[in-house]
Structure formats: C-alpha cells, structure tokens
Amino acid sequence: MKSNTLIINTLVSLAGASPLQPRQLLNFAALDAAPQPTLHTPSIEEKPHTVSYDLAAATQAAIANPLPVEAVAKRSLDARTDDSCTPLERGAGPVPIPDTAEAFLAYPDFSSAANSAPVPTGYYLTFQNLNGSNSAYGYSGYSTLNSYDTAECARRCNNVDSCLAFNIYFERDPSLVPGSLCPNPPSNTVIKCVYWGGYISASNANNEGQWRDQFHVVIAGSNGYMKNQVAEIPGWNGVSLGNAAINAPLNCLGQDTYMGSKIFTTSYFDVGLCAAACVSQNEYNTAHPPDTGAPKLCRFFVTFLSERNGSPEGQYCAMYTQSWDSSYATNDGQWRGDDHYTNDYVFAYTNSTWKNDVVCPGSNSTTTTARRFLY
C-alpha cells in the first residue's frame, strides 16, 4: 500500500565538480547521491486535494553553494484508526454488471471515453486507454470529475501552480473501506483527475491498482496529457528539445563548455530552479576567480526530467559557458547495466543578452562551433 506521507524536504545534491566529465553521460554519482523523489499515488481513503510545494525553499536549495545536505524530514503518519466499513466517496461513473474487476477492465464505455476524449488546448497526449495510473515526479494532488472531461481536468490543472500534466482515468473503488465485516463491498466508479508537476508517460503509468482485503481496485481508460509550453523566464530565451538533451563537443578552441550539473529531487519540474542555479553559480564563480584567466560563467543551461526505467529520478540541470543549438540535442538517454535512463521534457535556455565572444582560430569573427539558437 502506498503511504500518504509526503516527504517535505529541501535536499539538493551537487553533481559533478569535475568539468572534464564527459558531457554525454549523466552524472551517476550525483544521481546516486540525491534522495529518491517521493512517488505518490492517491489512495482510496485520500480525499481530493491539491499539494502545494514551497518553491522558494526549493529555489534556495537550488542556488545553495556549496550545496547543503540536510536531513530528510518525514511527516509521521498518525496511528490509523479502524475505519473499516465506513462509506467512501461515491463516484460519478457507471458501475459495470457484474460488479467485478474483470468486467470493469473489459467495459467498453471506459475505453471509448478514453479513445475519443479531445486533447485540451495547450496540451498533448502522451498515452491513451491504459489500465494503470502514473507514479511520477511532482505529485500535485487530484480531484474527482462528474464525467470523463479532459477539458475540465485541464482547466483545473491550469489553476494549480505546479501542474504540468494530468492523468485522467476511471478507478474501481470500494463503496466502503474493506474490512473483515465487509471484505468485498459493492464498487463505485470514481473518475479521477490527477495533477503532476513532472513527466507522465506510458512507462510510468504502471500503477494497476491493488487489493484491499478481497476487493480489487483497478484502473481503466487512463490517459496522460502534458502541457506543451516553454516557460518564460525573464532574461532567457528558451526552447523545447523534446526528449533529447544537449551533447556538447569541445568548442573550436578545444575548451570544454560544460560546467557541471545539479539534480533537484524535492519539488516539481520548474525550469526556474535551473536558471537560479546558473545565476548563483555565476555569482559564486565571479567571487572566487581562478588564478589565471576569467571565471567560467553560465550562459546556457539544459534542464529535463531524468527517468530510470520510466521511474523519475528528478530534475537534471546542466550548465554551459556557451549556447549549443538543437542540432546538438542528440542525448536521448543511456544504459547503465540493465537500467535504461531517459531524458524527458528537455528545455534549453540561453542568456538573452549574451553575445558569443569565442573567436575561433583562423577566423576573424565569432563563429560557429557554438551557434546561437535561432529564435
């Protein structure tokens, strides 16, 4: 059973002090050192609600340098009282006959609702008509719907700051909390609209329900939608790179433009965290200049959600001294043993006032190995 506990913490972990680390590899040392993001799936007893995140604290953690490692504060669960056989929320969806999990999964109205649902304005579909709900990054709460209404679910998501994605589905829930006196109560069909501040995909739509005593909770008609937006950050020009991160070569002077990376695991996906880290890195590097030469300054960052076998690892934030255009976005993930790491929801931002001042040998202009983005 999933716990209702939300881990509220402000951990952040440094990736990569070494600027010579190969750019095409994720910084596994940092990934391993960072706390695992909290995964959460609404349980049957949970009431509709919205989760709020402390973005200011997350930003503070993102810019902290040197990076703090604070204790993870887990909110303790109060001792549960025995609530068996108490009524649960009535769902608005139809209850198939016979009232079994098998009939629910095979019920054609659920598939047809999922397959014919319109894609709301400002969103794109990432998966359709699955029998599982998501376990993703940035759980932001949920509400119940009166009908399988993707436009309404999108409207609600738009009103939740951290919501970048939503998962809508039919859930077969018990009408009473199952217990020894009511081990398999009649079902209720609840239509859920779950908000996520992270990437939702078929590979993390893997929560296919659970047994509660002899009652089988199952899910049908599960669709996922992501916002298709490039968040605006003043002073930066952003582009979406889909699911491929930048794989930057050395520049024409043989310099490594990669500065290092951080991973954020305690909030939701917010490009502003990486922007704040980049700006603060510049303040730090300017205050601590090298013995010779100019300090490295972050003018370009790439941020995305890293996933291991579909399961979220956190928000990755890689910083560079110069901008690389989307033709260098070739890093769509990698294998480490049997684990497949993927990069999803990748965005790159360039300092909007920075002018490339790298002069390549044999050239009298500032050119080409670091091409600017075309806006």
Ligand X SMILES: *[C@@H]1O[C@H](CO)[C@@H](O)[C@H](O)[C@H]1NC(C)=O
Interaction between residue 63 and ligand X (CB under 6 A): no
How near is the Cβ of 298 to ligand X at its closest, in Å? 7
What binding mask, one character per residue, do residues 72-111 give for ligand X by CB under 6 A, x or -? ---------------------------------xx-----
d(CA 66, CA 283): 12
User: Least CB distance from residue 147 to ligand X, whole Å?
Assistant: 21
Q: Tokens in use for 19?
A: 């600027």
Task: State which residue, 194 or 220, has the beta carbon closest to ligand X.
Answer: 220
Site string for ligand X, 251-270 (x = CB under 6 A): --------------------
Tell me the site size for ligand X, rule CB under 6 A: 10
Distance CA(231)–CA(212), nearest Å, equals: 41
Pick between residue 282 and residue 343 the one whose CB is nearest to ligand X.
Answer: 282
Residue 285 or 311 with smaller CB distance to ligand X:
285
- Of residues 318 through 357, those in contact with ligand X by CB under 6 A are 351, 353-354
Which of 41, 131, 189, 266 contacts ligand X by CB under 6 A?
131
Q: Which one, 105 or 277, has the nearer CB to ligand X?
A: 105
* By CB under 6 A, residue 207 contacts ligand X: no
Rank residues 167 and 351 by Cβ distance to ligand X and give the closer one. Answer: 351
Q: Please tell me whether residue 279 binds ligand X under the rule CB under 6 A.
A: yes
- Residue 122: CB partners within 8 Å, gap ≥ 6? 154, 158, 227, 228, 229
- The nearer residue to ligand X, 105 or 244, going by C-beta atoms, is 105
| Residue 235 within binding range of ligand X, rule CB under 6 A | yes
**Which DSSP helix (H) or strand (E) runs through 170?**
strand 165-174
Beta carbon of residue 208, minimum distance to ligand X (angstroms, whole number): 9
Question: Cα-atom radius of gyration of the chain, to the nearest Å?
Answer: 23
Could you write out the DSSP letters of every residue in 91-158? PSB---SS-SHHHHHH-HHHHHHHHHPPPPTTEEEEEEEES-B---SSEEEEEEESS--HHHHHHHHH
Q: State the Cα–Cα distance between residues 108 and 105, nearest whole angstrom.
A: 8
Q: How far is the CB of 334 from ligand X (least distance, A)?
A: 28
Q: Cβ 53 to ligand X, closest distance in Å?
A: 23
Residue choice 130, 165, 245, 248 for contact with ligand X (CB under 6 A): 130
- Distance, in Å, from the CA atom of 21 to the CA atom of 24, rounded to the nearest integer, reads 9
What angle do helix axes 271-287 and 55-63 make, rounded to 10 degrees?
30
- Measured from the CB atom, the residue of 131 and 257 that comes closer to ligand X is 131
CB of 236 to ligand X, least distance (A): 6
**90 Cβ partners below 8 Å, 6+ apart?**
175, 188
Give whichever of 227 and 299 is closer to ligand X, judged by the CB atom: 299
Q: How far is the CB of 97 from ligand X (least distance, A)?
A: 16
Which are the contacts of 293, defined by CB distance < 8 A and separation ≥ 6?
none
In the complex, minimum distance from the CB of residue 347 to ligand X, in angstroms, rounded to a whole number: 15
Task: Give the integer Cα–Cα distance in Å for 368 and 350.
Answer: 16
Could you tell me the CA-to-CA distances from 143 to 48, 155, 262, 375 in Å, in that order?
5, 12, 33, 38
**CA of 178: how far to CAs of 84, 92, 217, in Å?**
6, 20, 11
**Smallest distance, Å, CB 201 to ligand X?**
14
Residue 355 CA, distance from chain mean position:
32
The footprint of ligand X (CB under 6 A) covers 105-106, 130-131, 235, 279, 282, 351, 353-354
